[in-house]
Amino acid sequence: MPYLIRNTRFAHPHWKLLCKFFCLPVCLHMSCVIFVMWIILGPDEKIEFLKNIKDKVKNEPDATILCMTSLGAILLQQNLLDEVKVLVEETSQLLESLNGVSVVHAKFYELSSSYNKATSNFEAYYRDALRYLGCVEITSIAVAEQSERAFHLSLAALLAESVYNFGEILSHPVMDSLRGTERTWMAKLLKAFNAGRATGHESSLTGIDKRQTCYNHE
């Protein structure tokens, strides 16, 4: 699909690197293009490129979602939360038209959970972060990232008003990444609350309000 590159109206000395992907299916082609884009373009160039190319793949839902989630990730890095919100809402509607679960679902839930984390929407973050983990193989995530996700999921579970049972997160393999770390206390705290044994764990809650305030900055 060479038109994806030729018709972007985007001049860059490395575009020839992208041309080797011409014969790939649109979705896979888009994945390859985006992968190379992250390497060779600057932040503003990435935004312009993705905005240009989004209209050119509008008849390919999977490719469009990959484009929109990549754009959302860049805007999120720049803390442009209002623009990210619009992208998340539009992508969510587009995702409903797809059958089954694919890589684009993982990309969407990764973006939406990151957005909800940045806006301290604990309920939505907890829901979408779990959905993201349900779309990927846990072994494909670096252990350090697993630990971060396990901690923030646990924190969201404690802070979310609508989460009353911690069994789902406690049984998830991602929680294994907290073992032997300085955050092991979080798993123990969740287990205590889930079993109705909060007494004696008050010290673990010290600073929880501070964590809530700083949640979107971690």
**Do 147 and 177 contact (CB within 8 A), yes or no?**
yes
Question: Is residue 45 assigned to a domain?
Answer: yes
Indicate whether 97 and 149 sit together in one domain. Answer: no
Q: Is 184 exposed, middle or buried (0-12, 13-18, 19+ CB in 10 A)?
A: exposed
Say if 75 falls within a structural domain.
yes
| Arithmetic mean of pLDDT, 84-111 | 91
Residues 94 and 146 in one domain: no
Mean pLDDT of the chain: 79
* Residue 116 placed within a domain: no
pLDDT of amino acid 13: 43
**Nearby residues of 111 by Cβ (< 8 Å), 6 or more positions away:** 69, 72, 73, 76, 84, 87, 88, 91
Does residue 26 lie within any of the structural domains?
yes
CA distance 37 to 46: 7
Asked if the structure places residue 58 within a domain, the reply is yes
The domain in which residue 170 lies consists of 142-218
Number of domains in the chain: 2
> In this structure, are 167 and 83 located in the same domain?
no
**pLDDT in the model for residue 97:** 84
For residue 214, the model assigns a pLDDT of 42
Q: Is residue 125 part of a domain?
A: no
Task: State whether 79 and 146 are in the same domain.
Answer: no
pLDDT-derived band at 55 (thresholds 50, 70, 90) equals confident
Residue partners of 192: CB distance under 8 A and separation at least 6: 198, 200, 201
Q: What is the pLDDT of residues 20-38, one digit of tens each?
A: 444 445 555 566 666 666 6
DSSP reduced 3-state for 89: helix
Is residue 131 one of the residues assigned to a domain?
Answer: no
What pTM was estimated for this model as a whole? 0.78
**Is 195 inside any structural domain?**
yes
Q: Provide the pLDDT confidence category of residue 43 given band limits of 50, 70 and 90.
A: confident
pLDDT in tens, 100-129: 788 889 999 999 999 999 999 999 999 999
Residue 162 has pLDDT above 50, yes or no: yes
Polymer length of the chain: 218
